[in-house]
Amino acid sequence: MNKWFTIGIGIKRWVFFAFLGVFIIAFGIASTILKLDTYTPLYISSINWMTIIILLMSGLTILSFSVIKLYRNLLAPYRKHQQGRLIDVVYAHSKRHKGLRVVAIGGGTGLPSVLRGLKAYTNNITAVVTMADDGGSSGRLRRELGVLPPGDLRNNIAALADDEQLMTQLFQYRFTEGDLRGHSFGNLFIAAMSGVSGSLEVALTEVERVLNIQGRVLPSTLEDIHLIADVRVAGKNHVIRIEGESKIGEVNGYIEAIQIHPQEVMAYPESVKAILEADLVIIGPGSLFTSIIPNLLVTGIAQALKQTKAHKVYVCNVATQPGETENFTVADHVMALERYIGRGIIQSIIANNATPALNKGNTHYVALTPSTHEIFQRYGVHYTDLTDEYQPWRHDPRKLANALLKIMALEKTGHGISASPVFEQL
């Protein structure tokens, strides 16, 4: 309690002036009442009206100025990374707080694009990410420490944080030398926090608090799972079984089937709850077979997608992925998704229709599907430019957010499912 009276924190003086302002206003109001009272002694009623007006205006000015100063000093520690006028910051925060309840399902490098785009419009974002990663830093920590892979969790937490904050940059920092080479600080932090607290749930809560993210990042399951893929080898007429997410993409072939092991794993309850309470559920973008579908194979996730009243949108990748979706069209992505969750679960599909000249050498854009294809009978398929200006093989977060918001606007007017593949650029 004594800390409130510490010298130099800018609290005591403005509290004093606030009380002074209240006192002057009270004196002015009392003088007005007495002046209007016919029984008031002459020496009191002789106070002229100009004096009373000056008292009231002075008191209001002092009180208003003091309250503003107190407000700014009290909020300063919480908004030092927020740019712009106070009223603009408060208005933007209020608007985001009342925004859509969004759940984004996926993993890898695709899902953060959704989060970066939508965090400008809503704070009510939940990312549900896969726990099947076994490569890189996540794989090493998984094997050596027995923890759930933190990589996808870290990437999406960082996407919801302020990119300019030093803590966010530190969280994404990757060591380049020594025994820690290849590890990111965020992965180590999550692993260490899981060990200290004994729970990944507590670790995520603490990480989100440290980075002050606007939203949540949740695992699809808290159980240890691995991916198993049946891959038809290119140029050969036989299928091989591959275990491990990091090894699946290394084989030059076509994925005929994907499954998680063990198969009967339960979804994280908070993830299921978020889906059931959402206004909008977004599936993708990301690696179709190794980042998106593994989430949908967890018991409880697909069931929640069937039960939720949310509008469900699949975001197709901009480019095909070697070892997973080579030569895939938009329809091929959707049909693969249907094999695991069935038809009619999603309502809308968003796909890119731009092919900028600036391209990465081995990048191949996902081919569009003609409007005569059967998927147009089941879903609202919408094409628009989703490419990033500098990395056109990836989604631009702003364009993607605009497209998703446009889909929701169409859905509210009853036009969310349309036979037309044309989607106007916002």
Confidence of residue 420 (pLDDT cuts 50, 70, 90): very low
Structure tokens given for 368: 């569009």
Q: pLDDT for 335-351, tens place per residue?
A: 999 999 999 899 999 99
Phi, psi (5° rounding) for residue 364? -125, 120
CA 33 to each of CA 36, 46, 111, 279: distance values in angstroms, whole numbers, following the listed order = 5, 13, 66, 56
In the chain, % helix, strand, coil (3-state, to 5) comes to 45, 15, 40
* H or E element that contains 335: helix 330-341
Say if residues 193 and 229 touch (Cβ distance below 8 Å): no
Q: Where are the alpha helices (DSSP H) in 42-119?
A: 42-45, 49-75, 86-97, 111-118
Q: What is the pLDDT of residues 39-83, one digit of tens each?
A: 556 555 566 778 878 888 888 898 888 888 877 776 665 554 455
- What is the rounded CA–CA span in Å between residue 214 and residue 234? 45
| 254-312 pLDDT, tens digit each | 889 999 999 899 999 999 999 999 999 999 899 999 999 999 999 999 999 999 999 99
The domain spans of the chain are: 9-78, 226-261
**Phi then psi for 253, rounded to 5 degrees?**
-170, -165
Residue in 125, 135, 124, 122 with CA at minimum distance from that of residue 95: 122
Mean pLDDT computed over every residue of the chain: 84
Q: 0.75 cut: is pTM over it? A: yes
For the record, the structure tokens of 120 come out as 């400008």
Helix (H) or strand (E) holding 399: helix 397-412
d(CA 402, CA 350): 11
Mean predicted confidence (pLDDT) in 158-173: 81
